[in-house]
Amino acid sequence: MTDPTTRRPVLVVAIAPPAAGKSTWILKRARAHERVNLDTYRAFVADDEGDQSATNEAAALQGIILKGRLRRGLTTFVDSTNAASRRREELVNVGRQFDAFTVAVVWDLPLSVCIERNRSRERRVPVEVIERMHLAIRTEIPKGPVPDFDVTRRIGTHDVRFGRVPAAFTGAAWLR
Ligand SMILES: Nc1ncnc2c1ncn2[C@@H]1O[C@H](COP(=O)(O)OP(=O)(O)O)[C@@H](O)[C@H]1O
Ligand SMILES: [Mg+2]
């Protein structure tokens, strides 16, 4: 008989300003279809990852894919900034709907590092946007676990974890 705990989906939510290194980190750990990313779906809709007029359609596409995967018990990484508490709440609620094990990965990097990494990026984001999101995350979740997630991992000078990881998930990509 299949152990039901092994079929519980994992929902990994990145929380970081643009250029922190989310996509790099996730692409190293996720298999091709395990990652949902608004930039990608904006490009599907508008031929341009940065076209904000395509955000609603991109979010709708992301929602369909995310729910379809979680319903099937498939691990999914959400590769977006999720700086707004409303976005994080929406994602946790979708996770709950499918009994997902929810993981928040927060990047605690100095603003200067994000700005520096932005310079090396192919598609640069306006510095004001990075500043705004960096401040929002730092203010709303200054330390410790992210509310409502089962586990929080904070990546900065130290790599810290909050919450208990069930034995069924030992060896999961998001732990590495
Ligand atoms: N750990 C790291 N150390 C140094 N540079 C990094 C690291 N992670 C990502 N980068 C670089 O920073 C830039 C932004 O990374 P990216 O993954 O695109 O960020 P995000 O998806 O958060 O916007 C890229 O040029 C990438 O190569
Ligand atoms: Mg990215």
User: DSSP secondary structure string, 14-43?
Assistant: EE--TTSSHHHHHHHHS-GGGEE-HHHHHH
Most ligand 1 atoms within 8 A of CB, residue of 12, 24, 35 to mutate: 24
Cα 41 to Cα 57: distance, rounded to the nearest angstrom = 8
Residue type for 154, please? R
- Cβ of 121 closer than 6 Å to ligand 1, yes or no, is yes
Per-residue confidence (pLDDT) for residue 2, from 0 to 100: 44
Q: Return the domain boundaries, the chain.
A: 10-165
Cα 63 to Cα 56: distance, rounded to the nearest angstrom = 10
Ion ligand 2 neighbours (CB, 5 A) are: 23
Non-local (6+) Cβ contacts of 59 within 8 A are 38, 41
**pLDDT tens by residue, 39-54:** 999 999 999 998 999 9
Mean pLDDT for the stretch of residues 112-140: 95
128 token code pair: 């004001």
- For residues 154 and 4, which has the higher predicted lDDT (pLDDT)? 154
Asked if residue 63 has pLDDT above 60, the reply is: yes
**pLDDT tens by residue, 80-101:** 999 999 999 999 999 999 999 9
- Cβ of 18 closer than 6 Å to ligand 1, yes or no, is yes
Most ligand 1 atoms within 8 A of CB, residue of 29, 108, 113, 117 to mutate: 117
Categorize the per-residue pLDDT at 1 as very low, low, confident or very high, splitting at 50, 70 and 90. very low
Supply the residue whose CA is at minimum distance from atom 13 of ligand 1: 117
Buried b (16+ CB within 10 A) or exposed e, 150-166: bbbbbbeeeeeeeeebe
Buried b (16+ CB within 10 A) or exposed e, 108-118: bbeeebbbebb
Choose the weakest-confidence range: 25-29, 99-103, 157-161: 157-161
By percentage, how much of the chain surpasses pLDDT 70?
97
Supply the residue whose CA is at minimum distance from atom 14 of ligand 1: 19
For the chain, the average pLDDT equals: 94
- Cβ of 23 closer than 6 Å to ligand 1, yes or no, is yes
Categorize the per-residue pLDDT at 6 as very low, low, confident or very high, splitting at 50, 70 and 90. low
Supply the residue whose CA is at minimum distance from atom 3 of ligand 1: 21
Asked if residue 129 has pLDDT above 80, the reply is: yes
Instruction: Measure 20 CA to ligand 1 centroid, in angstroms.
Output: 6
**Residue range 10-165, CATH number:** 3.40.50.300
Per-residue confidence (pLDDT) for residue 122, from 0 to 100: 84
